[in-house]
């Protein structure tokens, strides 16, 4: 029998619990903490407060959740002010229908639209709106704006396939967006993560269980005495090289009689939680780190807690952060760099993708996704450039793809033979 941490009842088995919630791409799980009912209730009451808080980071870098997708998020291009939206798969598109009106010499107008290819209906509506505002000017040159709207809308429907071929060529340089990091909901969710993590890895350590569970159950204002955040650097992803990670670091201090947790989500927001104000026990430290780019666990180093004295005053943490917004500026090429670190295959050429698919057909996914085979596929593009196999063509004929796939398979077989021969001698 196992005891549920939250309701205290005994159960045959406990449910799967994301210690760092799924909505913020947590990977660390436990089967020792909660019954199914409490898991559901807490997910709904506490974890959900984090849903949406980090959607910008999740979508921009295409970081996967175990289940469900995060909603599209809007970002603004710094120079032009154009609004784009990032989707869950890491792609971005124009968020709005953008219309520029140019006056012509004959009194007429040229309307230029920029929008994403799914926006046909919105463009048609926008034409209606724009021409309605110009109706007097159009009347002066003998154009009935209502008839003109109809005409243009029909033309858009008839010619849509050609229209969407006109790719908008301006490339955004720098995006800016705001993150809302504060609020009591977030503080409760962070406290829950730290508390559950310690209960999972060091259940024998004495902490203020009753008080913390009570705060989580009643969502009491006492959470402000337990959880702190401090302001974050708004160009953080420029400073932290090639790493977006979750990490938790918990220390017990014999001398100061405290158990303190330090946690960062997405390498972005540092929070501190007090888990015990009257700790009686030896010094200890436990930690967890997961790099979401390399998808590898690591052991974090935490200098923040090294010089612990009187945390709240020493580090100047903000206690109340009800309205805590942070504006982040990030270079589009930096987003792309980090994105490719998570999704190396996104850099492959069309030829490489075709060969990859062919190899999956022949060898199956498990073998094709082995580092050895992937490294050969990585080389295809370089080889392709050197011998110029139809490098200008967007699609490749079956023969080219088969040749390359067979080449990789032959190479693997000869490597295997070599290995067998070596083992025999």
- Judged by the rule CB under 5 A, the positions of this chain that interact with Zn ion are 4, 6-7, 35, 38
- What is the nearest approach in angstroms of Zn ion to the Cβ of residue 17? 11
Report the distance separating Cα 102 and Cα 106, nearest Å.
12
Is beta strand 174-180 parallel, antiparallel or unpaired with respect to 73-77?
A: antiparallel
- What is the nearest approach in angstroms of Zn ion to the Cβ of residue 15? 9
- What is the nearest approach in angstroms of Zn ion to the Cβ of residue 19? 16
* 6 versus 271: smaller Cβ distance to Zn ion: 6
Given a contact cutoff of 8 angstroms between Cβ atoms, the answer to whether 130 and 120 are in contact is no
* 35 versus 404: smaller Cβ distance to Zn ion: 35
DSSP one-letter code for 369: T
* 5 versus 73: smaller Cβ distance to Zn ion: 5
* 34 versus 75: smaller Cβ distance to Zn ion: 34
Structure tokens at 334: 């930096």
- Which residues are CB-contacts of 236 (< 8 A; sequence separation ≥ 6)? 267, 268, 328
Structure tokens at 351: 């030829």
* 6 versus 247: smaller Cβ distance to Zn ion: 6
Neighbours of 332 (CB within 10 A): 18
- What is the nearest approach in angstroms of Zn ion to the Cβ of residue 273? 22
Report the distance separating Cα 238 and Cα 81, nearest Å.
22
- What is the nearest approach in angstroms of Zn ion to the Cβ of residue 35? 3
Given a contact cutoff of 8 angstroms between Cβ atoms, the answer to whether 278 and 242 are in contact is no
- What is the nearest approach in angstroms of Zn ion to the Cβ of residue 191? 18
Rg of the chain over all Cα atoms, to the nearest angstrom: 28
* 17 versus 51: smaller Cβ distance to Zn ion: 17
């Amino acid at each position: 029998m196992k005891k549920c941490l939250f309701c205290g009842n005994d159960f045959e088995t406990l449910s799967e619990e994301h210690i760092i919630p799924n909505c913020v791409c947590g990977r660390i799980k436990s089967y020792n903490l909660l019954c199914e009912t409490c898991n559901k209730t807490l997910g709904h009451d506490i974890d959900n407060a984090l849903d949406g808080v980090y959607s910008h980071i999740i979508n921009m870098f295409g970081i996967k959740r175990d289940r469900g997708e995060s909603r599209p998020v809007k970002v603004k291009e710094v120079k032009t002010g154009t609004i784009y939206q990032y989707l869950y798969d890491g792609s971005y598109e124009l968020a709005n229908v953008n219309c520029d009106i140019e006056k012509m010499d004959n009194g007429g107008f040229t309307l230029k639209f920029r929008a994403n290819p799914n926006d046909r209906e919105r463009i048609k509506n926008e034409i209606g709106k724009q021409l309605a505002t110009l109706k007097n000017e159009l009347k002066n040159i003998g154009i009935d704006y209502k008839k003109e709207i109809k005409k243009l809308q029909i033309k858009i429907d008839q010619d849509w396939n050609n229209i969407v071929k006109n790719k908008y060529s301006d490339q955004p340089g720098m995006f800016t967006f705001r993150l809302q990091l504060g609020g009591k909901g977030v503080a409760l969710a962070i406290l829950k993560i730290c508390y559950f993590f310690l209960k999972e890895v060091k259940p024998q350590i004495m902490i203020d269980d009753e008080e913390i569970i009570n705060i989580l159950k009643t969502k009491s204002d006492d959470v402000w005495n337990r959880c702190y955040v401090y302001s974050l650097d708004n160009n953080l992803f420029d400073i932290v090289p090639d790493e977006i990670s979750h990490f938790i670091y918990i220390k017990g201090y014999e001398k100061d009689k405290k158990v303190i947790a330090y946690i960062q989500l997405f390498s972005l927001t540092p929070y501190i939680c007090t888990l015990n104000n009257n700790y009686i026990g030896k010094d200890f430290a436990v930690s967890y780190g997961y790099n979401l780019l390399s998808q590898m666990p690591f052991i974090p180093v935490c200098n923040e807690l090294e010089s612990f004295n009187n945390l709240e005053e020493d580090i100047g943490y903000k206690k109340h952060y009800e309205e805590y917004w942070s504006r982040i500026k990030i270079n589009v090429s930096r987003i792309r760099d980090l994105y490719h670190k998570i999704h190396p295959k996104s850099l492959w050429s069309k030829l490489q993708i075709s060969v990859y698919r062919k190899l999956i057909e022949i060898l199956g996914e498990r073998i094709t996704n082995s580092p050895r085979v992937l490294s050969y596929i990585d080389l295809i593009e370089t080889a392709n450039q050197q011998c110029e196999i139809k490098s200008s063509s967007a699609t490749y004929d079956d023969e080219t793809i088969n040749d390359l796939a067979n080449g990789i398979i032959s190479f693997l077989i000869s490597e295997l033979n070599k290995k067998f021969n070596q083992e025999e001698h």
